[in-house]
Amino acid sequence: MDWQPKIIAFFCNWCTYGAADLAGVSRLQYPPNIRVIRVPCSGRISPKFILNALRNGADGIWVSGCHPGDCHYIEGNFYARRKFALLKNLLEYMGLEPGRIQFSWISSAESTKFAATAQQVTEAITALGPAANFVKSFSGLLVEA
């Protein structure tokens, strides 16, 4: 089989995770490369998670939350957006290929948008090939909190 990228996705519980559920209910088909980590809100996602995912060999990261203005927790996604815009710039400055980290805003009703984005994210990361830049050859450096 061809090389398949491993993509770690962080979805907020209320919007994008719901959209992913609805995509299932509607039987929309998309590539099976995504490993979802459910968090309450995109505001919960720490830049450390993304760094750790890259360090542990993820070929791509997908972060998705509610549309700006629609956050279940009122404004968590605004903070997330600000944080990740900065992080993305920083990582790209450090040499990470643009496109390794993908962001989207998908409401719980947008199942077709979800499936289309999953397809597009997978294709973009597949085109980049395996990630090598930030991968540690050993793991376990991070002490558990």
Helix crossing, 76-93 with 47-55: angle to 10°?
40
From 80, 82, 40, select the one nearest 63 (Cα to Cα): 80
What residue spans of the chain are helical by DSSP H? 16-25, 47-55, 76-93, 111-128
The alpha carbon torsion through 144, 58, 87, 102 (nearest 10 deg) reads -140
Residues 9-48 that bind another protein (CB under 8 A): 13, 17-18, 20-30, 32, 35-41, 43-46, 48
The footprint of another protein on this chain (CB under 8 A) covers a number of residues equal to 49
90 is a contact residue toward another protein (CB under 8 A): no
Amino acid at 112: T
Of 4-12, 85-93, 96-104, 125-133: span binding another protein (CB under 8 A): 4-12
Residues 6+ apart with CB under 8 A from 88: 101, 103
Residues 92-111 as x/- pattern, contact with another protein by CB under 8 A = -----------------x--
120 is a contact residue toward another protein (CB under 8 A): no
Nearest approach, Cβ of residue 132 and another protein (Å): 18
Contact positions toward another protein, by CB under 8 A? 4, 6, 8, 13, 17-18, 20-30, 32, 35-41, 43-46, 48-49, 52-53, 56, 58, 72-76, 79-80, 83, 109, 115, 139, 142, 144-145
